[in-house]
Amino acid sequence: MRRANILFFSLLLACALAVGPAAAQDTVKIGILLPLSGPAAPIGVNSLNGHKMAVEEINAGGGIPSLGGAKIELVVADSGGDPKNGLTQAERLITKDNVVSIMGAYQSSVTYPSTQVAEKYEVPYIVPSSYKPEITERGFKYTFRVCLTTDLAGREQIAFMERMGRLSGKPVKTLGLIYENSDWGISSAELWKKYAKDFNLEVVLDESYPSNSTTLDPVVRKLKQAKPDALLFASYTSDAILLAKGIAQQKINPMVYMGTAGGHADPVFIQNVGDASNYYFDLAETSPDIDLPIARETNEKYKKVYGEDMSDDCIKCYTSTYVLAKAIEIAASTDPKDIRRVLANIFMIPGQKGIITPYGIQFDEKGQNIHARGVVIQTLNQKRVVVYPSELALPGATIVWPTPGWDQR
């Protein structure tokens, strides 16, 4: 009887010893929530590629050393761009797949509710590219946003136009706001209106539209009537394509086109629109041609594998993956609470391994990256070029202001 007991316990001990270290060396599961189907799918796929490349590099370089070289495993979930679906998927990632952290979810309308799930289960949620300000305004302890917010971006867009107008002597006086009618577009428009007032610009067109429309011709016609000096867009890919084609067709001549990343930053936009994509400004956070050598090297590598330049979202997802890997490394633990504690105090600078955004990463108590800022990009000869601020532009990059008319192109 006694013997049997001892035998049983020693067996148990042996099992525990065998399983223990093996589990630690196993894998660290990270959840990725992205729109991989539906209209935003191309952006979702780009973003996923960024995560994938970073993970491949980290795993090839020995995984997470402090966890005995544990490899990172991505558990990918498709939100389909649907908030409800995003909620269920986030719940699934945490409760069923036991991920130590989540990254996602591109659309603010999905990120906003799904971060709530992560907060409930106390799992860190890194947001590489959702702009809605309120995501980091709820006092959540587990939400960390790497990118700008619409608030910061909106201010930078309008400040840039005001400044360029002053410097060139050809000021913009009226604005046309054109935005998709979900969370992201509407919150962008509210901020544009607020800052337009601050900079004394008049809003002459304020137009929201459903992004999955068969035609955006009515919007283009309204634009033709209102004749604003500058157009501000918050568009996803398919709608950005339709609008640019419509504007070219109707030969509308604003002084300035200004996109807000999203669809205008998607390489597919230039492929589909061709020459009509020229002279578009875009407020982005980074670009493959930025004056930051590590970013350009990473882009070259990416291009070899995926056949296209890294999109803005892709770069932020790549960087976020490295930030999370670093946090897990420092925490030396797969407990989400430990990882959160490190993330809350982390400070990484551009040029550091894997940090290819032109700004550093450091989160304030709300979880917002305090270093995030924008760069202005202009599409010239169907190529996106960083033109502002000048310290991030390559030598020789110049701004074309205002846009030449259709008859002069």
Partner 1 sequence: MEFFLEILINGVLTGSLYGLTALGLTLVFGVMKIINFAHGTFLMVCMYMTYGLGVGFGLDPYLCIILVVPAAFVLGYLSQVVFVQPVLKAERDVREPVGVLLLTAGLWIAVNNLFLMLFGANFRSLKTPYSDQVFEFGQMLISRPLFYAFVFSLGATAILALFLRHTHMGRAIRVVGQDREAASLMGVDIYRIYRIAFGLGIATLGVAGAIITPMLYVHPFAGDIYDIRAFVIVVLGGLGSVPGALLGGIIIGVIESVASQYLTMSWAAALIYMIFLLVLFVRPQGIFGFEKDS
Residues lying near partner 1 in the complex (CB under 8 A) are found at 36-39, 41-42, 44-45, 181, 206-210, 212-219, 221-222, 225, 237-238, 241-242, 245, 248-251, 268, 271-274, 276
Q: How far is the CB of 321 from partner 1 (least distance, A)?
A: 21
Q: How far is the CB of 372 from partner 1 (least distance, A)?
A: 28
Q: How far is the CB of 148 from partner 1 (least distance, A)?
A: 25
Q: How far is the CB of 379 from partner 1 (least distance, A)?
A: 16
Q: How far is the CB of 227 from partner 1 (least distance, A)?
A: 12
Nearer to partner 1, 247 or 387 (CB): 247
Nearer to partner 1, 77 or 323 (CB): 77
Q: How far is the CB of 145 from partner 1 (least distance, A)?
A: 25
Nearer to partner 1, 80 or 154 (CB): 80
Long-range contacts (CB closer than 8 Å, 24 or more residues apart) made by 205-208? 205/175, 205/176, 205/177, 205/178, 206/177, 207/176, 207/177, 207/178, 207/179, 208/179, 208/180, 208/181
Q: How far is the CB of 41 from partner 1 (least distance, A)?
A: 4
Nearer to partner 1, 71 or 222 (CB): 222
Nearer to partner 1, 215 or 381 (CB): 215
Burial classification of residue 64, based on how many CB atoms lie within 10 Å of its CB (0-12 exposed, 13-18 middle, 19 or more buried): buried
Which phi and psi angles does 76 have, rounded to 5°? -95, 130
Nearer to partner 1, 139 or 274 (CB): 274
Nearer to partner 1, 222 or 341 (CB): 222
Nearer to partner 1, 38 or 360 (CB): 38
Q: How far is the CB of 18 from partner 1 (least distance, A)?
A: 41
User: What distance in Å separates the CA atoms of residue 176 and residue 351, rounded to the nearest whole number?
Assistant: 38
Nearer to partner 1, 149 or 238 (CB): 238
Tokens at 173, concatenated: 């006086």
Q: How far is the CB of 240 from partner 1 (least distance, A)?
A: 10
Nearer to partner 1, 391 or 407 (CB): 407
Task: Specify whether the CB–CB gap between 247 and 275 falls below 8 A.
Answer: no
Which phi and psi angles does 378 have, rounded to 5°? -125, 140
Q: How far is the CB of 296 from partner 1 (least distance, A)?
A: 24
